[in-house]
Amino acid sequence: MIYDYDLEIVDEIDSTNNEAKRRLEACEYNRPFVIAAHKQTAGRGRQGRNFYSPKDTGIYLTLVRPFDCPVSGQVSITTRTAVAVAQAVTEQFGVTPGIKWVNDLYIDGRKICGILCEAVNDYEADRLKYAVIGVGVNVNTAVFPADIADTAGCIRAARMTDDEFEHFARIIAERILEVTDDLSDPAYLDYYREHSCVLGHDIIFTEDGSEFKAHAIDIDENGALVVEVLSDAHCIRKLDSGEISVRV
């Protein structure tokens, strides 16, 4: 399918998600648009973290897609985006990332992509108006800050050309638009499960300040992680959000 959207590429920006939301506050949009940057000075990640976004070593973009569906429809957008970006990385670079729940992509045990999905809702009508989908991919980032140097990685050593940058931005956008076309279609979960680097492993999850050991069993139809808590073999839990670590 051919998707109709606008793409704008900028050299530097504070945060593509911030800019997208500024534009949504200024006017209404009835078609998707994408802002892609070579550098972010204030990139944002999940849980209020910063996202390291140095110049010309990755791609940092936000896709805004208008919706008119119940607010509950937004639940699976994050996991759908992980699938879309993983497919885009494979299409562009010929390597296949693993997906760490909820939405981080890994190659050779190192994180190469983070995703931050935000929603603009009409709460009076209980409707999702826009999904603001932020994606940051480390393509050739060689040096990282000390706090992430042991966990972050990149796809390759060579820098992208301008043509490669635009092509990659378009592939990411089109795969996201494709996988979010029908938020009731669970077909994307087959790919998510197949490429999960969590399922079948013991994990640690944090809840209310306490850590719990569990075994990851499945991803349910809404993208929740189904786990068996190891302290109680009969306790099956569904994790809808939060942070986990995989036990090696």
d(CA 53, CA 61) in angstroms, rounded, equals 11
Closest by CA position to 78, among listed 111, 116, 52: 116
Query: What pLDDT is attached to residue 112?
Result: 98
Least confident range from 175-184, 201-210, 225-234: namely: 225-234
pTM over cut 0.85: yes
Domains and CATH numbers, the chain: 6-194 (3.30.930.10), 202-246 (2.30.30.100)
pLDDT band at 145 (very low <50, low <70, confident <90, very high): very high
> How distant is the alpha carbon of residue 37 from its chain centre?
16
pLDDT at 247 over 80: no
Q: Is the pLDDT of residue 48 over 80?
A: no
| Confidence at residue 10, expressed as pLDDT on a 0 to 100 scale | 98
Question: Over 80: is that where the pLDDT of 248 sits?
Answer: no
